[in-house]
Amino acid sequence: MNAIVKIENQTPFIEVELNGKVQLGVNARELHKMLEVKTDFSDWIKRRVKQCKFEENFDYMVILKKEENLKGGRPTTEYIISVDMTKHLGMMERNEKGHEIRKYYIEQEELARNTLSGVQIEIGKLSILADQWQETLSNAGRILSVGGKQIRPQILKKLDELIKQAQPSLDLKDGE
């Protein structure tokens, strides 16, 4: 299914919020081109939405693009569709391109899932490491606190005694 990647030379996925969650979406107009559908895009997407009972803001979202229509006329209507809807539409076309696209999206979804899984594993490992460091630093802090209050005065006292022993005593007698 590398043909689509070579043609597009980029990932066809767009981040979109559908059904109350951020997920991957696809521009339906691009899918229409990839599927090599003969009918007009607007007719095709409306017919498929009705046939399959796709729901707006659940399976797809509509975006009106006014800035692209500089000559006047109506704004361009774009449909951003979920990956599940993309696979469904690909299978409905019942042609080689439809099967290729369905397979491609399944592979991309699996790749994304594996990547997410790998990231989650790394997050878990780093969380454990952070917890271990926290515990180690807490223990070190307790040792330093106890050592500073109890052991340090004893060490300083012993050090003073040793210094006194090591210093030569000078006996200064009058007249000599």
1-44 per-position pLDDT tens digit: 333 333 344 457 788 888 888 988 999 999 999 899 999 999 99
Strands, E, within the chain: which ranges?
13-18, 21-27, 60-65, 76-82
105: in domain = yes
Q: Domain span at residue 113?
A: 2-125
Which of 102, 101, 97, 105 has the alpha carbon at shortest distance from 23? 105
120: in domain = yes
25: in domain = yes
Exposed, middle or buried by CB within 10 Å (0-12, 13-18, 19+), for 170?
Answer: exposed
Total of domains in the chain = 1
24: in domain = yes
Please list, in sequence order, all residues whose beta carbon lies within 8 angstroms of the beta carbon of residue 28, skipping any fewer than 6 positions away: 41, 45, 60, 78, 79, 80, 81, 89
Helix or strand run (H / E) with residue 75: none
pLDDT of residue 5: 32
67: in domain = yes
**β partners of residue 56:** 60
85-111 per-position pLDDT tens digit: 988 998 888 888 888 877 887 887 788
* CB-CB neighbours of 163 under 10 Å: 9
160: in domain = no
21: in domain = yes
pLDDT bucket at 162, cuts 50 / 70 / 90: confident
